[in-house]
Structure 1
Amino acid sequence: MPTETDSRQAILDAGQRTIAHKGWAAVGLNELLAEAGVPRGSFYYYFKSKDVFGEAMMQEYFREYLADMDEIFERQDLPAADRLLRYWQQWRETQSLDDCQGKCLAVKLGAEVSDLSEPMRIALKDGTTAIIERITRMITAGQTDGSLAADIDAESTAQTLYDLWLGASVMAKIHRNTAAMDNAYGITTQILH
């Protein structure tokens, strides 16, 4: 028998999958609940509105995303440069697909919800800021261990690379191929070395 936590998580997971595929505005509550396999009352038990749900969904998405990042970045058996490149390789594998299984939520919703929901915009801002902070720390670690160029500004480079990859993800979706991701990877290696 599912617990309350299971039902809440089922709604969040279904939201990530469904909304990452179709977008925020295209997914109604009935579709979301059918995908989650929970009754309508469960939604309102956990979330007062679709916006409150969206904010919680984005926070959960970034919690999982940052945990995945940390797993890559905490590998001490690799130089920082290699860890960074593994992160970008993983991005290419998980975010350039048409059906990204909920892994490309920031890419999918960034522009769509930023003007519609202030709580979701803030969740996106907080999440992307945390990503950029981790990239900055990894660039600094690479400068310290000698695996990355010492003359680049870690913070502005991290921001630029994240912006590059976000744009490449959008272009990959538009063109339905990975050329933009391949270009982003090539430019990333040039910038870092």
Structure 2
Amino acid sequence: MTAPKKSELTRSRILTEGRALVLANGFGGVGLTELLAASGVPKGSFYYYFASKEAFGSAMLTDYVEDYLAALDAIIARPQPAAERMNTFFNAALKSDAGSMADRCLVVKLAAEIADLSEDMRQILDQGVTAVCERLAQLLREGVEDGSVIAQNDPDTAAALLYSQWLGAAIIAKLSRRPEPLEQALADTRRRFFI
């Protein structure tokens, strides 16, 4: 395995620092000066990697979606009943080292902000949500096969509604600064889906 090139490390640092700033302040709340200072790169270096702030946002969201799906895929690959894997995924939404889903989810943070701001960014998040829902539908189907999940008439629709419920719960948890909406979503998920 070869070591990453300096240019790859610099680009990665800009994206990592940028993601943290966007999670804290929103996309519109992050200025280029602040991003450059946090990532320790000069203005010219930023434009070497990204043609614009929107191009940076698209790259940041692409990386975020890839990371999110990779983490979900790792859970899906576990040799456990589907209900246990779903429980692991949703339980992680309540707490992790980075906080709850309300604190660390860029869909929760940016969906309303970027939907009218950038078509490219909107599409990246929308495709990411679609991919998550497809994976949840897969788990629902596997759960019926392994006997751990209650059969759904339409697993695709059930998965989309389930994820919508969680996004709504995360938004309400963020507004209220209380974990109860996410805790209620987990209890409801277990009640409606797990055998």
Same fold (TM over 0.5): yes
Q: Alignment partner of 1:5: what SS?
A: helix
Q: Which letter does structure 2 place at the counterpart of 1:177?
A: R
Residue 97 of structure 1 and its aligned partner are, at CA, apart by 6.7
Contact kept, 8 Å, 2:141 with 2:155, in 1: the verdict is yes
- Structure 1 107/63 Cα, relative in aligned 2: closer, same or farther at 3 Å? same
Question: Normalised by the size of structure 2, how large is the TM-score?
Answer: 0.92
Contact kept, 8 Å, 2:78 with 2:85, in 1: the verdict is yes
Q: Distance in 1 between matches of 2:30 and 2:137?
A: 35
Q: Which runs of 5+ in 2 are unaligned?
A: none
Deviations 1:67-93 (A, max 9, x none): 1111111101x1001100110001111
Contact kept, 8 Å, 1:96 with 1:172, in 2: the verdict is no
Runs of 4+ more than 6 Å apart: none
Residue number among 32, 35, 52 corresponding to 2:38 in the alignment: 35
Question: Normalised by the size of structure 1, how large is the TM-score?
Answer: 0.93
Residue 129 of structure 1 and its aligned partner are, at CA, apart by 0.7
Q: 2:78 matched to which residue of 1?
A: 75
Q: Which letter does structure 1 place at the counterpart of 2:158?
A: T
Contact kept, 8 Å, 2:92 with 2:100, in 1: the verdict is no
Q: Which runs of 5+ in 1 are unaligned?
A: none
Residue 150 of structure 1 and its aligned partner are, at CA, apart by 2.0
Contact kept, 8 Å, 1:96 with 1:173, in 2: the verdict is no
Q: 1:90 matched to which residue of 2?
A: 92
Q: Which letter does structure 1 place at the counterpart of 2:100?
A: S
Deviations 1:27-49 (A, max 9, x none): 10110111111111111001101
Q: 1:65 matched to which residue of 2?
A: 68
Q: Which letter does structure 2 place at the counterpart of 1:183?
A: Q
Matched positions, count: 189
